[in-house]
């Protein structure tokens, strides 16, 4: 194993918005050189270049992709551009770290899979919640058999008022593919599948709601990722989604994700619950603790496994780049593969379809 697989690797950033800053910082902390950035908004590339001396601001995508000194590119652009840009980057010979969701739907993932299969480059999808210390610990607990047969998973993530960039690309279905289900749900559905060894989904029943985003000028909020709100913009996605997914065997997954809801504080606990016949556990995706309930020696027992005290977000973002670098050097798999993400995307597609048809549908 290479001492630091990231050392000497040069990264190009496509997209210089909010999350690109987090990528650049994480890549640098892992040992990469942030070498180039492109975005149609020059003030944004300047922010990245100022924080990463030596990083070249490039006027357009084609020029960045033609730079042979780059080993890989990170794509952190609006969702609808993910597959077209990733296809170009792979065709240009770059390894690719593609932000979630991999595509707008499973059909787009299939299109990208064809591009992935055409070359030897690594394609890693940016499902960062897999790389937290808490997710690593939960996965090892599940694999140890400590929970027995896991028959129910629940995943919840709610914001009271947290619609990102209201009126902009996040809330325009043509550019985003949907609301919190594809934005937040993709993280937690993927995480549950990853922790449980990619179980096969069979059917889904879901409902989506849209009650807070339509009146952009009167939307009440305290802060806004990707903001400010764009008056006269588009809001044609859901702001809340809820579903039950049935898998092969006894497993079901209940998922509830909201960008906006009138949820009183403490009414619902955000996080992931895994219920098995020998043990159950709860954790928050970016938290530092796991609470377990089990039986031992004829008694009911509460347990709290100790995990790394590192900041979950910082550790996970850096680890994404370490694992990506190792995969590039042929030392392991990407942290999240397109084939795995396609399974999550098929579930999301089915939930949207179920909501539209108001019935359970095949995944």
Ligand X SMILES: NC(=O)c1ccc[n+]([C@@H]2O[C@H](COP(=O)([O-])OP(=O)(O)OC[C@H]3O[C@@H](n4cnc5c(N)ncnc54)[C@H](O)[C@@H]3O)[C@@H](O)[C@H]2O)c1
Q: Which residues are at the interface with ligand X (CB under 6 A)?
A: 14-20, 38-41, 44, 61, 76-79, 81, 99-100, 126, 128, 183, 226
Is the torsion defined by CA of 221, 222, 225, 227 positive or negative?
positive
Decide whether 40 or 145 has the Cβ nearer to ligand X: 40
CB of 38 to ligand X, least distance (A): 5
Q: State which residue has the least CB distance to ligand X.
A: 17
Query: CB 328 → ligand X: shortest distance, Å?
Result: 20
- Strand, coil or helix: 186: helix
Residue 6, token pair as written in the block: 């990231």
- Distances, alpha carbon 122 to alpha carbons 90, 100, 215, 269, 301, in Å: 9, 16, 43, 37, 44
**Identity of the residue, 40 or 54, whose beta carbon is nearer to ligand X in the bound complex:** 40
Closest approach of Cβ 303 to ligand X, in Å?
29
Q: For 44-113, give the DSSP string.
A: HHHHHHHHSTTPEEESSHHHHHT-TT-SEEEE-S-GGGHHHHHHHHHHTT-EEEEESSSSSSHHHHHHHH
For ligand X, give the closer residue by CB, 17 or 280: 17
- Smallest distance, Å, CB 257 to ligand X? 13
**Which ranges of 177-274 does DSSP label H, i.e. alpha helix?**
180, 186-195
Shortest Cβ 231–ligand X spacing (Å): 17
Q: Residue 168: how many CA atoms within 13 Å on its side-chain side?
A: 16
99 vs 280 by CB, closer to ligand X: 99
Least Cβ distance, residue 224 to ligand X (angstroms): 11
Q: Shortest gap between Cβ of 146 and ligand X (angstroms)? A: 29
Q: Which is nearer to ligand X, 125 or 243 (CB)?
A: 125
Least Cβ distance, residue 14 to ligand X (angstroms)? 5
Q: What is the smallest separation between the CB atom of 129 and ligand X, expressed in angstroms?
A: 8
Rank residues 147 and 241 by Cβ distance to ligand X and give the closer one: 241
Q: Under 8 Å CB-to-CB from 21, ≥6 apart: which residues?
A: 47, 48, 51
Please name the residue that has the structure tokens 């029943």: 205
Q: Are 216 and 230 in contact, with CB atoms under 8 Å apart?
A: yes
Nearest CA to 212 among 146, 178, 261? 261
Q: How far is CA 285 from CA 36, 118, 255, 354, 360, in A?
A: 31, 34, 14, 27, 28
Give 85 or 195: the residue with its C-beta nearer to ligand X. 85
Which of 11, 275 has the CB closer to ligand X?
A: 11
Q: Considering only CA atoms, which of 144, 151, 140, 352 is closest in space to residue 248? A: 151
CB 345 within 8 A of CB 105: yes
When the beta carbons of 77 and 354 are compared against ligand X, the nearer one is: 77
């Amino acid at each position: 194993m290479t001492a630091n697989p990231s050392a000497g690797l040069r990264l190009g950033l496509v997209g210089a918005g909010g999350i690109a800053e987090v990528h650049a910082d994480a890549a640098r902390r892992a040992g990469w050189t942030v070498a180039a950035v492109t975005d149609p908004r020059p003030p944004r590339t300047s922010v990245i270049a100022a924080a990463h001396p030596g990083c070249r601001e490039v006027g357009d995508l084609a020029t960045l992709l033609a730079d042979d000194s780059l080993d890989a590119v990170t794509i952190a652009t609006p969702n609808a551009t993910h597959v077209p840009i990733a296809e170009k980057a792979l065709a240009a010979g770059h390894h690719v770290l593609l932000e979630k969701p991999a595509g707008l739907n499973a059909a787009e993932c299939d299109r990208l899979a064809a591009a992935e299969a055409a070359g030897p480059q690594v394609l890693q999808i940016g499902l960062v919640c897999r790389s937290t210390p808490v997710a690593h610990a939960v996965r090892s607990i599940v694999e140890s058999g400590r929970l027995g047969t896991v028959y129910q998973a629940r995943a919840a993530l709610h914001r009271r008022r947290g619609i990102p960039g209201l009126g902009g690309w996040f809330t325009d279905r043509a550019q985003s593919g949907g609301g919190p289900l594809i934005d937040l749900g993709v993280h937690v559905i993927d995480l549950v599948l990853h922790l449980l060894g990619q179980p096969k989904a069979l059917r889904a029943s879901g409902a989506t709601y849209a009650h807070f985003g339509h009146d952009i000028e009167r939307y009440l909020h305290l802060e806004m990722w990707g903001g400010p709100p764009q008056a006269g913009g588009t809001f044609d996605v859901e702001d809340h989604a809820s579903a039950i997914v049935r898998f092969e065997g006894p497993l079901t997954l209940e998922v509830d994700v909201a960008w906006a809801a009138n949820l009183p504080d403490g009414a619902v606990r955000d996080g992931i619950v895994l219920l098995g016949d020998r043990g159950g556990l709860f954790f928050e995706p970016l938290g530092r603790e796991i609470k377990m309930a089990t039986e031992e020696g004829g008694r009911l027992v509460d347990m709290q496994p100790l995990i790394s005290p590192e900041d979950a977000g910082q550790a996970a973002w850096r680890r994404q780049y370490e694992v990506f670098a190792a995969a590039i050097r042929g030392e392991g798999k990407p942290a999240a593969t397109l084939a795995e993400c396609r399974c999550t995307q098929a579930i999301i597609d089915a939930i949207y379809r179920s909501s539209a048809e108001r019935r359970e549908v095949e995944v």
